[in-house]
Amino acid sequence: MITTKLHGTIKALKVGERVGYLLNNTDSKLKIHSIFDHAVNFIDRNDWIITLLPESYCIGPQGIILDHKEFSKFKSMELNVMDLWDFSELLSIEEAEVVSRKPLDNSIPIDMFRVKANKEYFHKLLNQSGNKNGMLGKTSIYRKYAEPILEEFSNLFIDRKYKEAGQKLFELVGLGPGLTPSGDDFIIGVMASFKFCGMKKETFADLTELIINKAKSKTNIISFNILRQGALGGFLEWIEDMALSVIHGNYEDIEKAFKNMLKIGSSSGSDISAGILFGIEEAMNLS
Amino acid sequence: MIAKWLIKENSYYDSVTLMLVTKEIEARDDVENAVVVMGTDLNKDLLNNVGLLNDEIRKTTANDLIIAVKMKEDKFDEIVAKVEELLSKKTSEVGEDYTPPTLDSAIKHMPDSNMVVISLPGAYAADEAKKALENDKHVMLFSDNVTIEQERELKELAVSKGLLMMGPDCGTAMINQVPLCFCNKVRKGNIGIVGASGTGTQEIMVQIDRFGGGCSQVIGTGGRDLKKEIGGMMMTLGIQALAADPNTEVIVLVSKPPAYEIAEKVLKTLKESGKKAVVNFIGGDDELVRKYGFIAANSLEDAAYKAVALAKGEEPKDAPLFEESEEMIDKMVADERAKMSPDQKYLRGLFSGGTLCDEALKLFTKEFGGIYSNIALTDEYQLKDNKNSYKHTALDLGDDEFTVGRPHPMIDSYTRQQMILKEAEDQEVAVLLMDVVLGYGSNEDPAGSLADHIKLAKKKFADRGQYLSVVAYVCGTKEDPQNYEQQIEKLKDAGVILMPSNAQAVRFAMKVVRGL
């Protein structure tokens, strides 16, 4: 294991709202966990991941956006998984814009007719353009596995058996293809829609508790981080936009948000969208 | 059945790479089942369900990548080599390659670029095209479902900046020898094309190559450019661009017949270019073309034939009706008819190329008075139900209603496969007429994807004591990525009669059904 220092400081353009907290609560030395074309993940001792991304990518609570030239410069250095980097030497985040989660404003009433029409439109878009390799593929083994689970969840949820319902949905963690398994993506979507439908915390508190405490052993560490963010109420900007567009927006908002969703991973954007749609349906049924 | 697996411990690959790996393995004929997943407990359960779980896989963790394959024979080394190549390809590109996720970042990343190709759902396409034009980039807009008002606005902006705005719904172009979207690989030469029709342009490119000529530039305009609302803005600008191009000596224009005043405007611009030209307003006003001193073509093939003659400094003549001698063609026709039963009467055209279908309709109508279609020339011959042929019918299977939820038939043969089988149920069918379009953007093996269905259809006829004549044209060159010779062989092997151009294929099919 080596400690590497950059000669010069990279100025971050944007940081997710949790980054400051994480960097203040670590000794600022983080290991490189994984390297992708457009992302480098750093991990701290408590398995919290901070992701460096180039400009124009979507940011979540644990993300840091760099100017794309700075990102390319950083990527062109010799990066190895497990290398230890000193973030205080590497980055300057003082001038970066902090991207906060979208506030949940319960004072805006939800127009059920609008949501119903939006939901149908979103469903149509998803069927037309969604990636069918994960939860959307009617014949995929993953979808077949998930269907009875979702049916049971719906039954339990409508009966207000939130604990059992949460346990049921939790069964999807780790299911399916992709770096972030499709089941994980779907749950992210459900949690986002519950949040922006203004569901009371008690309705999904058991699910979030399970995710925070037990999901780590059921999925990989990257996906776990994203699930944990979601359980704490933090999502990628694009996911928030998607859920909000269906709940409060118009068709144009939905199209715009969905266009961004399709840029997330291979099937992840579609699986998250399927989760958002499912979550909104469940929330509507309950209300 | 043999099960093999590859485990990559603590390895993370982005989802797109994993999907490519999955598709690569699943595409193999010898693979029955393939699973590419992270080793979560749930995924291991699923592997167990499909008989792919073993002790080694059982020991994996959620942070390990599992690639498990069930195959007919042990070719796992081959698969692993390909998988490793795909996985390492991404890794080796780290830090060197940058795939911008948005137009803004692409422009920022490549500020010196001068063209943007846009292929997005129509609802988003116009905004992006406008953004590209505002950034002084030429645009090729592959997307359809852009309104005509948006098209006009985009083209006005483009014209004001002297930029090309090819499209919307522009499927074919070749700029500085770079093929864009659906495009064949043709010889470099001195003929420039401005086309308002995708497969029409491809057919002319291919035929120019066949006759020994070559192309300098191919500019697409989108199918609505010559409508009154647009006024031929891009065809005019395209002509001006070719006029200014020193490597272009002959210009070919191809489009459906424009309104008279638009045709005049376009021909006037062509006159001003000072270059030799051939014009094919498919089925349009040849007299007007001649009035301006240009050569009119009677088919796409004829346009290419005459353009090549002009490019070589020769006197242009009409292209021969058939490459083969008349005697040979008559003999082939007689052979086909001899095998048919008396109740077989009709021609059924199943086209993937819209302009190739349109050309067939026009040639057929000239001889027979009319043919039913989903893109009929007159209301009288518009099919009541576009999915059910009636008497002589030619269908454009690339038309919107056939492509809902599916890729274009030049990419995905499914719709045409089903239509071949459907026509095989009709005892009155005598000839199936088809195009097979090669080139960049098209299906990797279009002939192979149709051959089995053609054989099945022929068998159905044979089982009834009948004979189905199948006539096809392969629109491609020997330089196209699909391997032209192999495509021809696959069709011949399925009992298909092949003609060297769309027009000749139509004429041959007409000869077979004439008088039946």
The secondary structure of B291-331 as a DSSP string is HTT-EE-SSHHHHHHHHHHHHTTPPP-PPPS-SS-HHHHHH
**Residue A276 clears pLDDT 80, i.e. is over it:** yes
For residue B405, list chain A residues with Cβ-Cβ distance below 8 A.
Answer: 127-128
What pLDDT band is residue A6 in, cutting at 50, 70 and 90?
A: very low
Record the tokens describing residue B89, joined without a space: 């390809």
Chain B hits for A68, CB-CB cut-off 8 Å, are 98, 100, 105, 108-109
Please, what is the Cα angle at B427 between B423 and B430, to 5 degrees? 75
> Inter-chain contact A220–B96, Cβ cutoff 8 Å?
no
DSSP label of A43: E
Which chain A residue lies closest to B47 (C-alpha atoms)? A141
Could you tell me if B457 and B420 are in contact, meaning their C-beta atoms sit under 8 angstroms apart?
yes
A144-175: pLDDT as tens digits: 889 999 999 999 999 999 999 999 999 999 99
* Closest Cα in chain A to B49: A141
Closest to A274 in 3D by CA, of A110, A119, A116, A112:
A119
> Which residue is listed with tokens 């692993």?
B80
User: B38–A219: do the CB atoms touch at under 8 Å?
Assistant: yes
**Mind telling me how many Å the CA of B128 is from chain A's nearest CA?**
12
pLDDT band at A224 (very low <50, low <70, confident <90, very high): very high
pLDDT score at A134: 81
Please report residues of A whose CB lies closer than 8 A to that of B99. Answer: 37-38
In a domain, B438, yes or no: yes
Collect all residues of chain A within an 8 Å Cβ-Cβ radius of residue B53. Answer: none
8 Å CB contact between B403 and B413: no
Tell me, yes or no, whether B281 and B142 share the same domain: yes
Task: Specify the pLDDT at position A1.
Answer: 33
Within a domain: residue B70?
A: yes
Given B311, B339, B362, the domain boundary residue is B311
Residues A181, B37: C-beta atoms closer than 8 Å = yes
Q: Which residue has the tokens 């760099």?
A: A66
Sheet of B178-181: strand order equals: B178-181, B172-175, B215-220, B188-195, B250-255, B276-281, B295-296
B99 inside 8 A of chain A by CB: yes
Q: Which residue of B has its CA nearest to A252?
A: B123
Check B62 against A174: CB less than 8 A apart: yes
Q: Are B101 and A259 within 8 A, CB to CB?
A: no
The tens digit of pLDDT for each residue in B262-319 reads 999 999 999 999 999 999 999 888 999 999 999 999 999 999 999 999 999 999 999 9
Query: Do residues B305 and B337 both lie within one domain?
Result: no
Q: Do A179 and B101 touch (CB under 8 A)?
A: no
Q: B90 to chain A: which residues are within 8 Å by CB?
A: 36-37
**What pLDDT is attached to residue B300?**
97
Give the tokens for residue A136. 């959307």
The distance of B31 to chain A (nearest Cα, Å) reads: 17
Residues B81 and B141 occupy one common structural domain: no
* Bridge partner list, B33: B70
Position B19 scores a pLDDT of 77
In a domain, B321, yes or no: no
Q: Could you give the ipTM of this predicted complex?
A: 0.82
Report B:372-431 residues touching A (Cβ under 8 A).
Answer: 405
Domain membership flag for residue B97:
no
B178/A contact by beta carbon, under 8 A: no
Q: Can you say whether the dihedral through the CA atoms of B384, B121, B110, A73 is positive or negative?
A: negative
Contact assignment for A68 to B98 by CB distance below 8 Å: yes
Tally C-beta pairs within 8 A across A and B.
Answer: 133
Buried-exposed string B205-238: b where 16+ CB fall within 10 A, e elsewhere: bbbbbbbebbbbbbbbbbbbbbbeebbbbbbbbb
pLDDT at A7: 46
Instruction: Looking at the structure, tell me whether residues B297 and B166 fall in a common domain.
Output: yes
Let me know if residue B273 belongs to a domain.
yes
Claim to verify: residue B234 and residue B289 sit in the same structural domain? yes
Provide the pLDDT confidence category of residue A5 given band limits of 50, 70 and 90: very low
CB spacing of A37 vs B12 below 8 angstroms = no
Nearest-by-Cβ selection for B12 from A34, A57, A267: A34
Residues B284 and B380 in one domain: no
Q: How many CA atoms lie within 13 A of A122 on its CB side?
A: 33
Pairwise CA distance, residues B278 & B251, whole Å: 6
Q: Please name the member of A127, A220, A266 whose beta carbon is closest to the beta carbon of B38.
A: A220
**Whether residues B343 and B465 fall in one domain:** yes
- For residue B304, being part of any structural domain is answered with yes
Closest among A186, A194, A206, A180 to A244, alpha carbons compared: A194
* Same structural domain, B132 and B222: yes
Mean pLDDT of chain A: 88
- Tell how strand A84-86 and strand A3-4 pair up: parallel
Answer yes or no: do B385 and B441 share one domain.
yes
Q: Report the chain A residue with the minimal C-alpha distance to residue B108.
A: A68
My answer on whether B88 and B110 are in the same domain is: no
Contact B37 A176 (CB under 8 A): yes
Distance (Å) from the C-alpha of residue A177 to the closest C-alpha of chain B?
5
DSSP B11-29: ----HHHHHHHHHHHHT-T
* Amino acid found at B515: G
A245 contacts A197 by C-beta, under 8 angstroms:
no
Q: Report DSSP letters for B154-218, one per residue.
A: HHHHHHHHT--EE-SS--EEEETTEEEESB----EEEEEEEES-HHHHHHHHHHHHHTT--EEEE
Give chain B's domain count.
3
Structural domain contains residue B318: no
Residue B12 is nearest to which of A54, A222, A259, comparing CB atoms?
A: A222
Closest-approach residue (CA) in chain B for A58: B101
CA dist., res. B21 & res. B38, Å (int): 13
B-chain residues near A146 (CB < 8 A): none
User: Could you list the residue range(s) of the whole structural domain that residue B54 is in?
Assistant: 2-92
Question: In this predicted structure, what is the pLDDT of residue A57?
Answer: 81
In the block, residue with structure tokens 């411990």: B9
Same domain for B136 and B284, yes or no, is yes
Nearest CB neighbour to B121, from listed A38, A129, A181: A129
Contacts A175 to B, Cβ<8 Å: 40, 42-43, 46
Which residues share a beta bridge with B224? Answer: none
CATH number of the CATH domain containing B305: 3.40.50.261
Compute the half-sphere exposure of residue B150: CA atoms within 13 Å on the CB side of its CA.
19
Last residue of a domain, one of B246, B280, B311: B311
Tell me which residue in A38, A128, A179 faces B18 most closely, judged by beta carbons.
A179
In this predicted model, what pLDDT tens digit does every residue of B389-418 receive, in sequence order?
A: 999 999 999 987 887 667 889 998 989 999
When scoring A186, A266, A268, A272 by the number of chain B Cβ atoms within 10 A, the one with the most, hence best to mutate, is A266
pLDDT in tens, B121-168: 777 889 999 999 999 999 999 988 899 999 999 999 999 999 999 999
Question: Given strand B497-499, what is the order of strands in its sheet?
Answer: B372-373, B393-396, B346-351, B429-437, B469-475, B497-499
The token pair that represents B316 in the structure block: 């242009």
Residue corresponding to tokens 């609802």: B123
Cα distance between residue A123 and residue A106, in whole Å: 25
What are the pLDDT digits (tens) for A93-138? Answer: 888 899 887 666 666 677 888 899 999 999 999 988 888 878 887 7
Q: Which of B38, B41, B123 sits opposite A255 (nearest CB)?
A: B123
Amino acid at B236: T
Domain termination residue (choose one: B46, B68, B92): B92
Same domain (yes/no): B219, B251:
yes
Which one-letter amino acid corresponds to residue A167?
Q
| Mean predicted lDDT score pLDDT of chain B | 92
Structural domain includes residue B316: no
Please tell me the distance in Å from A111's CA to the nearest CA on chain B. 25
Polymer length in residues for chain B: 516
Spatial neighbors of B256 by CB under 8 A, at least 6 apart, are B196, B197, B223, B226, B281, B282, B283, B284, B355, B358
Percent of the residues in chain A that have a pLDDT greater than 90, as a whole number: 53
Test A220 with B124 for CB contact under 8 angstroms.
no
- The tens-digit pLDDT sequence of chain B (516 residues) is 788 999 998 888 887 788 778 878 887 888 888 888 899 998 998 888 888 899 999 999 988 999 999 888 888 888 888 888 888 764 433 333 456 777 887 887 777 789 999 988 777 889 999 999 999 999 999 988 899 999 999 999 999 999 999 999 999 999 999 999 999 999 999 999 999 998 999 999 999 999 999 999 999 999 999 999 999 999 999 999 999 999 999 999 999 889 899 999 999 999 999 999 999 999 888 999 999 999 999 999 999 999 999 999 999 999 999 999 999 999 999 999 999 999 999 999 999 999 999 999 999 999 999 999 999 999 999 999 998 999 999 999 998 788 766 788 999 898 999 999 999 999 999 999 999 999 999 998 999 999 999 999 999 999 999 999 999 999 999 999 999 999 999 999 999 999 999 999 999 999 999 988
**Which of A220, A253, A262, A263 should we substitute to test contact with B (largest number of B Cβ atoms within 10 Å)?**
A220
